[in-house]
Structure 1
């Protein structure tokens, strides 16, 4: 998707992106058009062209970053370190001076790679947080069983695991039930108050 406050510049940018081998599926001038284009097209990459209205460009960048699943790059008419800093705070992955096709293609490749790496890191963090959450549930359940039954850490885990196996459930599910106050069968077959 290409976004710009100037319709003619937007058409030039779309044509340039086309010559670089990219399909421009949507173009947008204002925030409403950006939101509609993102919902309709789900662009893999968005390009915001910056001319004179920095605030409009920053608003476009922020809107795209908030709703699009792909990265955003900024095409600048001139070097502007202050704008790049502010745009980075709003979510751009790369910035490049307009009019240099090879540099634009490089910026696109960098943005796509950085975005893919960010996605991998987010997935990894989600997996780690899930593992920590599961571990915490198991530890709480073990603590409850240890206190109530005067058993060791290992014995409490063995009890959770045995109950999970015999009931075709996961240890985490059984541990969650214990922490919610549900009874757990002891190894003797008696109902416990855990």
Structure 2
């Protein structure tokens, strides 16, 4: 079953661009969708400061003439913001979009209308939510692998120390855990660190 998508209304948006006037025009478009432009930024230092202070739900980098500046902004926002980053381009540019994707954009669009912007926002939020979910799954898997490695190390120590079979070594760890109402991995960690003799 699909998980519910993140809210796509009432977002706190950081708008970043090298052009102050373009930022103002873009802000009007964002606000027409019911979102709030919490801050605008032009340079990298200002962008980092705004992200730390305001913690936006979404960041949008509006791209005009200076591709390198826009890419630097995208990279800076991606490194510090918790929400997704969108690139808005005046004209389609596959090369720029590919470079921006490498720097961390979740979506791109053209600010031709409020609907186009909202579509880009919805794509970005869905992709970001999916990446967060996958990141959580990877962290859980990593944790499970680390626990397994600790248990395997402890079993090896007991097998060598007492001449036990693998199953008997595990049973010794599990029995100790049950008798003390503690987790198997915690017992295994103590065995692996030579803090517990079983």
SS where residue 147 of structure 1 aligns? helix
1:99 shift after superposition: 2.0
Matched, 1:5 2:18: yes
| Alpha-carbon distance in 1 for matches of 2:140, 2:85 | 26
Equivalent residue in structure 1 for 2:66, among 48, 53, 58: 53
Moved more, 94-103 or 41-50: 94-103
Is the 1:163–1:184 Cα contact (8 Å) retained in structure 2?
A: no
Q: TM-score, normalised on structure 1?
A: 0.92
- Report the aligned-residue RMSD: 1.0
Residue in structure 2 matched with residue 139 of structure 1 by the alignment: 152
Residue-pair matches, total = 185
Matched, 1:89 2:102: yes
| Alpha-carbon distance in 2 for matches of 1:123, 1:24 | 29
In structure 1, runs of 5+ residues without a counterpart are 186-194
| Alpha-carbon distance in 2 for matches of 1:94, 1:183 | 53
1:169 shift after superposition: 2.2
| Alpha-carbon distance in 2 for matches of 1:183, 1:93 | 49
| Alpha-carbon distance in 2 for matches of 1:35, 1:16 | 23
RCO greater where, 1 or 2, for CA within 8 Å and sep 6 or more? 2
| Alpha-carbon distance in 2 for matches of 1:182, 1:60 | 50
CA displacement 1:154-186 (0-9 Å, x = unmatched)? 21111111112223321111111111122323x
Equivalent residue in structure 1 for 2:174, among 157, 161, 186: 161
Residue in structure 1 matched with residue 183 of structure 2 by the alignment: 170
Residue in structure 2 matched with residue 78 of structure 1 by the alignment: 91
Matched, 1:129 2:177: no
Equivalent residue in structure 2 for 1:62, among 75, 90, 101: 75
Q: Rg bigger for which structure?
A: 1
Moved more, 12-21 or 159-168: 159-168
Residue in structure 2 matched with residue 152 of structure 1 by the alignment: 165
Equivalent residue in structure 2 for 1:114, among 127, 139, 152: 127
1:103 shift after superposition: 1.4
Structure 1 runs of 4+ with >3 Å offset: none
